């Protein structure tokens, strides 16, 4: 059964580790993440962007696939199904469809409007027993059509949003979606420390988990980050493994063109990436 992300993230914050959010795109992605979470006894969050939701033909299809797969695979570790960077309308659709968690990304609104909209969703999520993530400041780069200017969050605004009763808070601290450029100056730990000071027990969320050096990940966790989002890295390893399979001509020999064979190396690559991230985040054995 899907669960809210609240309990797993509060435990993670208290235990000084982070739970990974791995974005899913299709059956292979979902199965890879669930199997690794179960094998290594880790809580996990399945992230679904609005674009990926559309690709999978809608949120109801996603809920049906995930619930069915969890039952057939006997998944017993805590799993939250979470809308990633949702609009207000997208959040409402996911509440109806049966997601257990949503992110409202109101970061592009003036703060007063972000607060108003987030406040409405706090009430809805509380009624439904769902977790809610809010965002302050902005994540740089682009993810699935969501473009951010990378504005570093104001810790006081973070406190205003946290005080509304959201479950977890994402703040822009110099993090970027996609690959980090060579001239990236790193995460802003001073701002993160200030946010953690003002928001207390609130689990903090680090977006743009692809390619952040290990020491920065560990430092972020020590400063209250309890959820780390990873998307691009799984896409890169999937693409790389699939390319190698095709370039080696394996799709041309025997039954190598069978989609179940063609997609297998990429799926194994996602599994390896997810396991590596769970080890780094410290969530293995925490379920």
Beta bridge partners of 19: 227
Q: Counting contacts by CB under 6 A, is residue 53 touching ligand G3H?
A: no
Number of residues in contact with ligand G3H under rule CB under 6 A:
16
Residue 209 in marked binding region:
yes
CB of 23 to Zn ion, least distance (A): 9
Q: Counting contacts by CB under 6 A, is residue 229 touching ligand G3H?
A: yes
Whichever of 75 and 233 has its CB closer to Zn ion, that residue is: 233
Q: Counting contacts by CB under 6 A, is residue 174 touching ligand G3H?
A: no
Distances (CA, A) of 137 to 114, 140, 157, 169: 11, 10, 9, 11
CB of 156 to ligand G3H, least distance (A): 24
Whichever of 228 and 241 has its CB closer to Zn ion, that residue is: 228
CB of 202 to Zn ion, least distance (A): 18
Whichever of 38 and 210 has its CB closer to ligand G3H, that residue is: 210
Q: Which residues of the shown chain bind Zn ion in the complex (CB under 5 A)? A: 207
Q: Counting contacts by CB under 6 A, is residue 84 touching ligand G3H?
A: yes
Q: Could you say which of 140, 172, 208, 266 contacts ligand G3H (CB under 6 A)?
A: 208
Q: Which does 178 bind (CB under 5 to 8 A by kind): Zn ion, ligand G3H, none?
A: ligand G3H
Q: Counting contacts by CB under 6 A, is residue 233 touching ligand G3H?
A: yes
Among the listed ranges 88-96, 128-136, 151-159, 202-210, the one in contact with ligand G3H (CB under 6 A) is 202-210
Residue 232 in marked binding region:
yes
Active-site residue, 258 included: no
Residue 242 in marked binding region:
no
Residue pair 221/18 in contact (Cβ under 8 Å)? The answer is yes
Q: Counting contacts by CB under 6 A, is residue 266 touching ligand G3H?
A: no
SS3 letters across the chain: CCCCCHHHHHHHHHHCCCEEEEECCCHHHHHHHHHHHHHCCCCEEEEEEHHHHHHCCCHHHHHHHHHHHHHHCCCCCCEEEEEEEECHHHHHHHHHHCCCEEEECCCCCCHHHHHHHHHHHHHHHHHHCCEEEEEECCCEEEECCEEECCCCCCHHHHHHHHCCCCCEEEECCCCECCCCCCCCCCCCHHHHHHHHHHHCCCCEEECCCCCCCHHHHHHHHHCCEEEEEECHHHHHHHHHHHHHHHHCCCCCCCCCCCHHHHCHHHHHHHHHHHHHHHHHHCCCCCC
Which residues sit at the interface with ligand G3H, rule CB under 6 A? 23, 47, 84-85, 143, 177-178, 207-210, 229-233
State the catalytic residues. Answer: 84
Binding residues for Zn(2+): 85, 105, 135, 177, 207
């Amino acid at each position: 059964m899907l669960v809210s992300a609240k309990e797993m993230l509060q435990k993670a914050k208290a235990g000084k580790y982070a739970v990974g959010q791995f974005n899913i795109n299709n059956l292979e992605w979902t199965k890879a993440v669930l199997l690794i979470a179960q094998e290594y006894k880790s809580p996990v969050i399945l992230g679904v962007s609005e674009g990926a939701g559309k690709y999978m033909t809608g949120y109801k299809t996603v809920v049906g696939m995930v619930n069915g797969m969890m039952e057939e695979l006997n998944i017993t570790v805590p799993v939250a199904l979470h809308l990633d960077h949702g609009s207000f309308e997208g959040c409402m659709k996911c509440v109806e469809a049966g997601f257990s968690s949503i992110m409202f990304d109101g970061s592009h609104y003036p703060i007063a409007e972000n607060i108003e909209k987030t406040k409405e969703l706090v009430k809805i999520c509380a009624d439904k027993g769902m977790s809610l993530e809010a965002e302050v400041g902005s994540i740089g780069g682009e993810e699935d059509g969501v473009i951010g200017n990378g504005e570093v969050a104001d810790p006081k605004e973070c406190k205003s949003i946290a005080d509304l009763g959201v479950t977890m808070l994402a703040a822009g601290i110099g993090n970027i979606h996609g690959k980090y450029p060579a001239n990236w100056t790193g995460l802003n730990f001073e701002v993160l420390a200030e946010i953690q000071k003002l928001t207390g027990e609130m689990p903090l969320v680090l977006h743009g988990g692809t390619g952040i050096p290990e020491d920065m990940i560990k430092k972020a966790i020590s400063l209250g980050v309890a959820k780390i989002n990873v998307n691009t890295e799984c896409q890169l390893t999937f693409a790389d493994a699939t390319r190698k399979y095709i370039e080696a001509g394996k799709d041309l020999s025997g039954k190598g063109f069978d989609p179940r064979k063609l997609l297998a190396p990429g799926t194994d690559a996602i599994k390896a990436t997810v396991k590596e991230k769970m080890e780094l985040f410290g969530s293995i054995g925490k379920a």
